[in-house]
Structure 1
Amino acid sequence: MDVRMALYKPPSGVVFDHNKFAYYVILTIIFVFSIVEVFTAFWICKSSLTYRRRLWIGGVLLFVSIWAFGAILSIGGFA
């Protein structure tokens, strides 16, 4: 969703209409965060941590990923 917005949806609205650089910086940060999130999920699956610790790290990762998804939706990724 993030890559589609960067390629096909021009910045618009009150905040991003006059500051296109901020739009692309936010999309880049969300994209990099998503890549880190995927590698962290793979690490959790393959790690030798205890079940409780993996569950706790996975819960934190899920909570943070919801914030990134909310950020993409608030920019307009649902259209």
Structure 2
Amino acid sequence: MPAPRDSGTKTKPVLYALAVTSTIGAELAITVTAGYFGGKLLDAHLGTSPWLLVTGVLLGVGAGIWGIITTLQRFWRI
């Protein structure tokens, strides 16, 4: 009788990489989008177009990069 195959050992690194990549992409997209719409909303109320929109996007990019760094540190620790 042949030994049972362990099919889970090859798929774990692939699923792990997919989880990290998906988390990074979603995190960056959400923070930049939130910065865009937050800046656009503030520009509409304060009449400072386009300065707060640009500031919001840049803050979103910064927050996204910070989130990516903390996510990678968390995933590398495991």
Larger Rg belongs to: 2
TM-score norm. by structure 2 comes to 0.42
State the TM-score, normalizing by the size of structure 1: 0.41
Q: Which has the higher helix share?
A: 2
